[in-house]
Structure 1
Amino acid sequence: MACVALVTLVQRRANYDSVLFMAWEAILCAGVILAAGCCHRLRTSLGQLPLRQGLEQRLNVATVILLLVAFASPWAINFLAKRCGVGNGSEIVMLGTLGWAGLSSALLGTRSRTVSLSVVCSGFVALFATLISDVASATWFAYAWVALCMWWLVGNHWEGLESRSAEHIDRSVGLRWTYLALVLVVFVGSTLAIGHRVPVWQRLRAELMPTSGGTTGKDSAARSGVGNGDALIAAKNHATSFGAVETDMFLDSEKPSLFDVFSDEFGEPKPKESVEQAQALSPQDVQSDEGKFSEANRSSSASEFGIERKPTERKALPEDLVSNALFFWQGGAHAHLAVERFHHFDGVTWTGAPITRAEASRAAKPGAIEVEQQSWFFAPGNKFASSLSPFRGAVAEAAKFTRYGSPIIPSRCGTKLWSIDQISRADFFHYDASDCLSMPGRERVPDYTMVRFVNGEIDLEKMEQLLQHCSPGKEHVGGAKTCQEELAELAHSYADETSRGWEQVRSVVEGLRREFRHRQGNVDTKHQTALEQFLQVRSGPSYLFATVAALMLEHLGYETRLVTGFYINPKHYVKADNEYAVQGSDVHVWLEINAGHGYWIPLEPTPGYRAPRTTASIWYQAMQARWEIAGCCLVASISLSILYLLRAWIFDLLCWCCAPALVVLSDRRRVRWTAWILDVRLSLLGRKRPRGAVLRKHLSASLNLPECQSNKVRTVLEASDCLLFGNRSSLSAEQRTSILELWRELTVAKLRKLRIVESPS
């Protein structure tokens, strides 16, 4: 029970505490408590021996000092943790100290009252840690503790009744239970009668321990003071209101736009060099730009991404991740969140695909369903719910926006559902033909908006089937004439030995990740184009990796598109809120490949960035790793065969190593373990003791022991009988020495020479 309580507290602290300091505390406290237990057992086991004067007192003092060190360790480690920027409050440290006290009482306690105190301490720690935990699975620890407590109570009760007999049975109820039942009836009746009139009771009915994000109908993303809108609640008192209100519309904003973010990271795109005939304006015809949008907030094009960019200086990562974050991601690390997708490339610039008015109208209307009085929206046609979809499963994730300056909502490829609390109108969202999600009619996503997603994971088996049978992609490359031969040669060198499908695509992507090097910042394109220099120096930024991969895959007959967005950096994890702070430096470029039927699969060609998360059935994984599994099975079978042939030698080695630990065992356990070892050694000789046979007779019938060893065995067995079935309470020093010698000297190899060979009948 004490161990369950400590595990419950560790599970709670793992959400926000430092794993290094937790491991340090666990190893130190557990080691010190075990050392105290060894001192206590040593003092108890050696109590019958003629000790030097003062040795028993020294062991007692050592036990007390070790326990004090164990109880003081959590406070000392927490002090050091706070000096390093982590640490806990005093109440969590007190809970940890109480848990270690419960464990020490359980290990060292000799009185029933001490053991009962250990149960009380562990129960308080387990139940309190369960109540303050954010994870629903924490209740299983409470269930485990209650089950163990019931088992201990029942066992303790029957142990007390072993040597007693009931003289008479008294069936009276008693005044105590009568008063308790009367108080319970009055409390329940008054609660049902006037409970709806008490405001506190109404709040308790919503949730026992409410957080700032609302009731239990809202997930843990609604905590930390920002949640789903309770820090900007649009002049309402409802803590779960949306808060999508535009204020200060005509003031300059300090929030960076997507154009600012990508320009800061990759450099501003170079303007196209084109000269047209024009006539100079007279001074009175020149219009002032005062009052218009600033140049920093105006992109050169609404839907294009150029690979020829000006040099830029990289900015240092801000010390305060939270205050400088664009938005926060509550989900898995290494996620690829797309904001824009480009289909056509002219050798210099990626542009979006032209969309007809009918396609735009059809794609712009997301569907909606209602789940537990909450509206959830999905892509037009609900294509990700189809049986052909390569995305399966349901992963709950969320994005919390703070300084984000764009109406486009970053989302994964394969988003099945999304929702904003209290929003039930589908026209709040726009879902275009490129699978980009946005909030039209506004300059940016409102601050403190929490968008929840249900995302799918890539099914490798379904994706492989789609790519294997997909039709050749459409030609959409009009430039890069000077690099086409080199790109084609590079693509064939990677993919010539593979057939069309996922293996061919993966070989191209892995070839880029293996032979090219990622370098932050843009390239110098004074004398060469960006593609030419990238292929020559074999290093560059992520947008060149994605561009080259897209061109090579298109040469092999696949349709691709460029994707810009954000990559969730695991280094930007905020422990206090269990979320990732997305910075401007987290902008990233990758590509997607068309798998047919309107599905696109994200690919990550840039080394140093983890590929999107995938999943597969157990059978598919086994078939993919069949040769590795066969090799492991062969090695395991050989290892098991060697262990079987050397089992007697290994068992004797373990006995020899464990023999010094006999000093900390009680005398009863010593003789029981010794009898078990003799039985095992006889079994390894092929002389297993029949059921019901006495060990002494079986030894004499199976072995022809020398007189010296026979006397030792007889002495130990006689002492065992007296200790287990007689009135004797301890062993003598000579008998303990004989047990130690039997453990070390009476090996299987020696017994094999001394066994009695039965003559054939």
Structure 2
Amino acid sequence: MPTWSRKRFEAIVLSLIAFASLVPLRMPVEHRPTFVSELVCVLVLTIAAAWKPSRVQRVATLLLPVTPIAFAALARYFTTPIAYEVTMLSVFGAAAIAMAVGGRGERWHALSLVSSGFLVLFAASISDHAYAVVYPLAWILVCVWHLVANHWERLDLAMPDQVTRTWTLRPGSVLVAAAVLAVGGLAVKDRFTESKHLTFGFMPTSGGSDWSDPAAKRGVGSGDAAIAAKDFAESFGAVDSELFLESQESTLFDMFNDLIGEPKKKKNKMERRQAMANQKIIPSHERAAKSEQGGGSFSTDRVPPEKHQHFDDANDPGIVQWDGPVGIRLAMHRYDAFDGIDWTQENDLSEDELLRVDFGEDAWFFDPGRNDLIHQDPDKVQVGLLKAIKLGSNRLPVPMLTGGIHIKEVNRQDFFGIQSDGSFYMPGRDKVPPLTVVHIASEKLTEDEIREQLVASETVVPCGIDEIADLAKRIVDDRDHPYDQLRALIGYLRDNGTLDPQAVSDSVLPVSEFAGSTQGGSHLFATTAALLAREIGLQSRLVTGFYVRPSGFDMIAGHTSVRPDDVHVWAEIRLSDGRWFEVEPTPGYREPLYHPSLWLRCRQSVARQWPAITVGTAAAFLAYVTRRIWIDWTLYLVWWLAPMLRPRRRLGLAMWTIENRAKLVGQRRPRGQSQRDWMEQLTRDDHGLQTACQQFCDAADRLFYGGNDDRVEKSSTRIVRLLNTQTISKITKEAAV
């Protein structure tokens, strides 16, 4: 029967780390309660199999490899199917645990070690999770600890007289291994291209093959073929399906009308409104007129929304599908001029010819003003995939700071361009063809860059609305940095505002009314945020597009469907280097993440917590200076509780207290010297201490070697009271003299 040993315990720990490395692979795409239940079941069986030898232990060991198979079968019938290759990996990990807990010899432990090592490295190599590398690093460090112990254990058996045990050897080896791994990681960083993982159908459920099962990663995220849910999807393939009829492809302007209402009619225009009550399809000519109107301006003054009736899509009502971070915004229109009611675009940012850059066989097209993105650190660039379904526009919805786009097998520069508002589009087309897959490269922005580049300018003209000016002065208060001021303005709107897309304003200036009530649609939140930014000297603009709602993420497909009710409005702020970053003032929507560097976080923490840091530093310094005093008192307090212990434990505590007091004054007991010899040598120059030491040692001998006599006289332990740190320090100095 397996018994507890160091090797067995360490093999179990390594196998558990390997099994845990599957969490980043399985947690995002599987039914969470089922997966957590499987983890709990494996853990319970591991504990049962590692317990005392019994029939329960043998049964638990046999059930461990079967558990992932059982849960996979249940998941296929009742919840989300689990991919076959993931089940195989889980069985492999559970088998490694079973060999570690149930193996009866070192060979089983060694086999468990090899199996867990393969699993943890393989799982990390195919995972896209940012922290997947933590598991192999932890496994390697524990393995170093294990191997070093095995090496010295063999030496100890072979040469017992020449091996000296030291507690610093194994931790030191682990620290050296950690340093080597860190240096190696920095040395190879950015020297390898991104791995293709399993996108070529290496396993049955890796997506895009004829032999895929229901658990395959279909949809965006599994390669260009899988994105279109076909084996060989072309970027501009013809689609003959009623799902993509023109009457179903609403424009962005239509979606805003459905969500927050149509713009109010201008008093100087007499335009007859057509009744839509009995119509199922919006006429193409009416939608085209609305598209032209929506592309040129965006109004903040709107009537109550009246929902248009569209045919329901039996498969997917999404406008686009997005494979990338959720909780972000995809911009389609931008406006930089505001007249009190309407937003329009005045500055011409158009580019007819984009910069072509070839990466291998792929042709990418970059904004000439953002060609620095080509030479950026790969960690600062993220690439997302977009598939157009029923977009109904020739504009491409892209994230903030997008610099380049790529469509497979498209290498003509005249296929892409940049509109006057800075948005990417496909010139010469009425809309982006359905099932078009677009790779989008955008830049990540840090809080450090924003703080460095965000500068208030006196040339920025305020909006001239008194309510906005008063609100900005009241919120900004005494904050100095423009970013802190901007964060305060955005925070006020998010904390005090109420999102109500159905709200209707009776005021001539809806923004003025909103500044007082802070209740309305996202277009009013975004407009107010942009105008508040101008009050503090920051250049701003309004952006319309889509919000990638986290709840829309499909765990099986690996992408997010963006629907018509995900239309959204937000604001962008200009940096001094010409880049624009977005802010999210509407409550209920995720704010953009601008991660600060470690140095900036430290500075901010010091600035916020300097009183506590000052007091803590002073307290730590005082504790270090007075360490002998308070540690001695702590030891005295521990000894004061000794009468509650049994005699043997009480004498052991007495010896432990004396040794720790000696360590404080630099008189550590030499390795190999007996405790009696050490104490007699320490107290040889003081007759009273020598007598107390003799009584203590004799009492210890009688207690441990004298049979059943457990009596300990109180006078036998008076050495603990006499031999405090001051006494030890004094007799040491006298002995030196």
Asked if the contact 1:473–1:557 (Cα under 8 Å) also holds between the matched residues in 2, the reply is: yes
* Inter-CA distance 159–752: structure 2 relative to 1 (3 Å threshold): closer
2: CA distance between counterparts of 1:492 and 1:352?
Answer: 28
* Inter-CA distance 618–698: structure 2 relative to 1 (3 Å threshold): same
2: CA distance between counterparts of 1:374 and 1:707?
Answer: 87
2: CA distance between counterparts of 1:709 and 1:21?
Answer: 61
**Is 1:508 the equivalent of 2:508?**
no
Asked if the contact 1:343–1:561 (Cα under 8 Å) also holds between the matched residues in 2, the reply is: yes
373, 377, 384: which is aligned to 2:365?
377
Alignment-mate amino acid for residue 347 of structure 1: G
**Is 1:13 the equivalent of 2:26?**
yes
Secondary structure, counterpart of 2:515 in structure 1? helix
1:596-617 Cα shifts (integer Å, max 9, x gaps): 4543332222233333232444
Aligned to 1:169: none
Aligned to 1:184: none
1: CA distance between counterparts of 2:640 and 2:88?
Answer: 42
1: CA distance between counterparts of 2:633 and 2:70?
Answer: 46
2: CA distance between counterparts of 1:90 and 1:709?
Answer: 69
Aligned to 2:162: none
Aligned to 2:556: 576
Secondary structure, counterpart of 2:511 in structure 1? helix
* Inter-CA distance 117–612: structure 2 relative to 1 (3 Å threshold): closer
Aligned to 2:573: 593
Asked if the contact 1:331–1:398 (Cα under 8 Å) also holds between the matched residues in 2, the reply is: yes
1:103-143 Cα shifts (integer Å, max 9, x gaps): 35424544234324534653564466467655698689679
Asked if the contact 2:541–2:571 (Cα under 8 Å) also holds between the matched residues in 1, the reply is: yes
Aligned to 1:663: none
* Inter-CA distance 717–398: structure 2 relative to 1 (3 Å threshold): farther
* Inter-CA distance 385–94: structure 2 relative to 1 (3 Å threshold): closer
**Is 1:622 the equivalent of 2:599?**
no
Q: How does 1:271-350 map to 2 (within 5 A)?
A: 271-274=265-268, 293=284, 295=286, 298-299=289-290, 301=293, 302-312=295-305, 323-350=316-343
* Inter-CA distance 527–161: structure 2 relative to 1 (3 Å threshold): closer
2: CA distance between counterparts of 1:319 and 1:303?
Answer: 30
**Is 1:351 the equivalent of 2:344?**
yes
Aligned to 2:475: 494
Deviates more, 1:126-135 or 1:136-145: 136-145
1: CA distance between counterparts of 2:112 and 2:468?
Answer: 71
Asked if the contact 1:696–1:717 (Cα under 8 Å) also holds between the matched residues in 2, the reply is: no
1:608-641 Cα shifts (integer Å, max 9, x gaps): 3333232444444433443235345346546756
1: CA distance between counterparts of 2:554 and 2:639?
Answer: 50
With the length of structure 2 as denominator, give the TM-score of the two structures. Answer: 0.70
Aligned to 1:610: 590
Secondary structure, counterpart of 2:284 in structure 1? coil
Aligned to 1:367: 355
2: CA distance between counterparts of 1:471 and 1:646?
Answer: 60
Q: How does 1:92-131 map to 2 (within 5 A)?
A: 92-93=86-87, 95-107=89-101, 109-119=103-113, 121-122=115-116, 125-126=119-120, 129=123
1: CA distance between counterparts of 2:313 and 2:720?
Answer: 66
2: CA distance between counterparts of 1:616 and 1:465?
Answer: 12
1:62-95 Cα shifts (integer Å, max 9, x gaps): 5446656766765676677678734635764564
CA shift, 1:752, in A, is 4.1
Deviates more, 1:440-449 or 1:60-69: 60-69
Asked if the contact 1:523–1:530 (Cα under 8 Å) also holds between the matched residues in 2, the reply is: no
2: CA distance between counterparts of 1:298 and 1:150?
Answer: 70
* Inter-CA distance 346–630: structure 2 relative to 1 (3 Å threshold): closer
2: CA distance between counterparts of 1:291 and 1:589?
Answer: 24
2: CA distance between counterparts of 1:652 and 1:80?
Answer: 60
**Is 1:256 the equivalent of 2:250?**
yes
Higher relative contact order (CA 8 A, sep 6+): 1
1: CA distance between counterparts of 2:150 and 2:672?
Answer: 31
* Inter-CA distance 708–29: structure 2 relative to 1 (3 Å threshold): farther
1: CA distance between counterparts of 2:390 and 2:721?
Answer: 76
CA shift, 1:686, in A, is 5.5
Aligned to 1:522: 502
Aligned to 1:33: 46
Secondary structure, counterpart of 1:400 in structure 2? strand
Aligned to 1:444: 431
CA shift, 1:448, in A, is 2.6
Q: How does 1:536-685 map to 2 (within 5 A)?
A: 536-596=516-576, 598-628=578-608, 630-631=610-611, 633-634=613-614, 636-637=616-617, 640=620, 680=660, 682-684=662-664
Secondary structure, counterpart of 2:575 in structure 1? strand
Aligned to 1:422: 409
Deviates more, 1:619-628 or 1:407-416: 619-628
* Inter-CA distance 693–442: structure 2 relative to 1 (3 Å threshold): same
CA shift, 1:409, in A, is 0.9
CA shift, 1:338, in A, is 0.9
CA shift, 1:375, in A, is 1.3
Asked if the contact 2:208–2:229 (Cα under 8 Å) also holds between the matched residues in 1, the reply is: no
Deviates more, 1:541-550 or 1:640-649: 640-649
Aligned CA-pair RMSD:
5.5
1: CA distance between counterparts of 2:258 and 2:459?
Answer: 37
CA shift, 1:494, in A, is 2.1
CA shift, 1:366, in A, is 1.4
**Is 1:406 the equivalent of 2:385?**
no
* Inter-CA distance 84–305: structure 2 relative to 1 (3 Å threshold): farther
Asked if the contact 1:652–1:747 (Cα under 8 Å) also holds between the matched residues in 2, the reply is: no
Asked if the contact 2:632–2:725 (Cα under 8 Å) also holds between the matched residues in 1, the reply is: no
CA shift, 1:682, in A, is 4.8
CA shift, 1:431, in A, is 0.8
**Runs of 5+ in structure 1 lacking a partner?**
41-58, 166-203, 215-221, 279-289, 658-671, 720-731, 739-744
1: CA distance between counterparts of 2:559 and 2:703?
Answer: 63
Asked if the contact 1:408–1:436 (Cα under 8 Å) also holds between the matched residues in 2, the reply is: yes
CA shift, 1:487, in A, is 2.0
Alignment-mate amino acid for residue 9 of structure 1: L
71, 75, 85: which is aligned to 2:79?
85
Identity of aligned residues (%): 27
With the length of structure 1 as denominator, give the TM-score of the two structures. Answer: 0.68
2: CA distance between counterparts of 1:376 and 1:259?
Answer: 30
1:554-574 Cα shifts (integer Å, max 9, x gaps): 344443221111222222222
* Inter-CA distance 603–156: structure 2 relative to 1 (3 Å threshold): closer
Q: How does 1:227-242 map to 2 (within 5 A)?
A: 227=222, 229-230=224-225, 239=232, 241-242=234-235
2: CA distance between counterparts of 1:650 and 1:20?
Answer: 48
* Inter-CA distance 589–527: structure 2 relative to 1 (3 Å threshold): closer
Asked if the contact 1:508–1:549 (Cα under 8 Å) also holds between the matched residues in 2, the reply is: yes
Alignment-mate amino acid for residue 525 of structure 2: F
Aligned length: 647
* Inter-CA distance 539–322: structure 2 relative to 1 (3 Å threshold): farther
Q: How does 1:196-275 map to 2 (within 5 A)?
A: 212=207, 224=218, 227=222, 229-230=224-225, 239=232, 241-243=234-236, 245=238, 251-274=245-268
Aligned to 1:467: 454
Alignment-mate amino acid for residue 468 of structure 2: L
1:232-281 Cα shifts (integer Å, max 9, x gaps): 9899x8x4743355768995342332122222221222222335599xxx
2: CA distance between counterparts of 1:556 and 1:140?
Answer: 44
* Inter-CA distance 436–228: structure 2 relative to 1 (3 Å threshold): farther
Secondary structure, counterpart of 1:332 in structure 2? coil
* Inter-CA distance 240–676: structure 2 relative to 1 (3 Å threshold): farther
Asked if the contact 1:472–1:559 (Cα under 8 Å) also holds between the matched residues in 2, the reply is: no
Asked if the contact 1:488–1:555 (Cα under 8 Å) also holds between the matched residues in 2, the reply is: yes
